């Protein structure tokens, strides 16, 4: 049965359809000039440099808290020694990529939707259009690509800092030597696991970039609508990240097998 287009469900499907068309437009135009190299670099700087502190603090906190919370439980089973291994698996395979992407969805998604949305309502996008400056290339392609490139890089930073956090906790709690910590941490992680689990954040980056650009680019109205677009960008990006994560994990298990297999 088809949903009534005026209902909440109908509206939802209509928005998802429009978002898919917008994403297809991205792939259609991505290959064509103009190639906005300088703007892409600016956006990578915006996404990377300005998010780094937040990501590092998040990573450090995840590492320390995860180690503190798990130590007691593992000790009860006499498995305290495998803490670095458990920490590495949790951080590299799931917590690092997903938490980093969710934090970035909040930081970048809202920013992109608000920036492009205000450019729309103040006619700056129309001004780019009439000056033959191809706003889709200049605003959308650069921001989406910046997210695709920067998400994995920031995830690696967060993962490393989380492991440092876990090591700090281990030193404080059991005075563990760093060589032992590294040995145990990486004893059952394959390089392919690290690659797949880090690179899946490119997909998350694409989701955040395209959703936020779409919501900003299609804003109609005024500042209230811009605010709503920013909020929706965070909510929708976060939901789609979590859904995409389930799919990616399922597919990676199908193609690469389980840990250490």
Partner 1 sequence: MSEPTTTSTPDSRPADAPPEDIIIDMREVHKSFGDKHVLQGATLDVERGTSAVVMGGSGAGKSVLIKHIVKLLEPDEGEIWVKGRRIDLMKGDELDQMRLSIGYLFQSGALFDSMTVFENLDFLLERHTDLKKKERKDRIEETLDWVNLVDKAPQFPAELSGGQKKRIGLARAIILEPEILLYDEPTTGLDPVSVRTVADIIVRLRDERGISSIAITHDLLCAEIITDKAYFIYEGEILESGTFDEVSNSDHPVLRNFFKG
Query: Which residues form the interface with partner 1 (CB under 8 A)?
Result: 34, 119, 122-124, 126-133
Burial of 181 (0-12, 13-18, 19+ CB in 10 A): buried
Question: Closest approach of Cβ 133 to partner 1, in Å?
Answer: 6
78: left (phi over 0), alpha (psi -120 to 50) or beta: left
Question: Closest approach of Cβ 234 to partner 1, in Å?
Answer: 22
**Nearer residue to partner 1 within complex by CB, 190 or 227:** 227
**Nearer residue to partner 1 within complex by CB, 94 or 129:** 129
**Nearer residue to partner 1 within complex by CB, 98 or 119:** 119
Three-state secondary structure along the chain?
Answer: CCCCCCCHHHHHHHHHHHHHHHHHHHHHHHCCCCCCHHHHHHHHHHHHHHHHHHHHHHHHHHHHHHHHHHHHHHHHCCCHHHHHHHHHHHHHHHHHHHHHHHHHHHHHHHHHHHHHHHHHHCCHHHHHHHCCCCHHHHHHHHHHHHHHHHHHHHHHHHHHHHHHHHHHHHHHHHCCCHHHHHHHHCCCCCHHHHHHHHHHHHHHHHHHHHHHHHHHHCCCCCHHHHHHHHHHHHHHHHHHHHHHHHHHHHHHHHHHCCCCC
Question: Closest approach of Cβ 259 to partner 1, in Å?
Answer: 46
Question: Closest approach of Cβ 127 to partner 1, in Å?
Answer: 4
**Nearer residue to partner 1 within complex by CB, 221 or 260:** 221
Question: Closest approach of Cβ 145 to partner 1, in Å?
Answer: 18
**Nearer residue to partner 1 within complex by CB, 55 or 116:** 116
Question: Closest approach of Cβ 216 to partner 1, in Å?
Answer: 14
**Nearer residue to partner 1 within complex by CB, 9 or 127:** 127
Question: Closest approach of Cβ 37 to partner 1, in Å?
Answer: 13
**Nearer residue to partner 1 within complex by CB, 14 or 94:** 14
Longest dimension (CA), the chain: 69
């Amino acid at each position: 049965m088809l949903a009534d287009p005026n209902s909440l469900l109908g509206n939802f499907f209509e928005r998802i359809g429009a978002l898919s068309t917008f994403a297809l437009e991205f792939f259609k135009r991505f290959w064509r000039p103009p190639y906005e190299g300088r703007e892409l670099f600016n956006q990578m700087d915006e996404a990377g440099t300005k998010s780094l502190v937040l990501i590092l603090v998040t990573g450090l906190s995840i590492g320390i808290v995860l180690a503190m919370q798990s130590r007691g439980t593992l000790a009860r089973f006499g498995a305290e020694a495998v803490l670095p291994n458990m920490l590495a698996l949790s951080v590299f395979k799931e917590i690092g990529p997903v938490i980093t992407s969710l934090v970035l969805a909040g930081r970048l998604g809202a920013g992109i939707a608000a920036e492009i949305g205000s450019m729309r309502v103040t006619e700056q996008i129309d001004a780019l259009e009439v000056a033959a400056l191809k706003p889709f290339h200049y605003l959308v392609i650069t921001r989406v690509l910046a997210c695709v490139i920067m998400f994995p890089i920031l995830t690696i930073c967060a993962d490393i800092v989380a492991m440092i956090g876990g090591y700090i906790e281990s030193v404080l709690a059991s005075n563990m030597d760093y060589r032992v910590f590294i040995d145990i941490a990486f004893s059952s992680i394959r390089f392919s696991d690290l690659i797949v689990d880090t690179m899946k954040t490119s997909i998350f980056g694409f989701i955040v970039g395209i959703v936020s650009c779409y919501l900003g680019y299609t804003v109609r109205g005024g500042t209230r609508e811009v605010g709503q677009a920013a909020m929706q960008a965070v909510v929708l990006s976060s939901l789609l990240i979590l859904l995409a994560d389930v799919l990616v994990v399922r597919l990676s298990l199908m193609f690469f097998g389980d840990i250490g297999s």
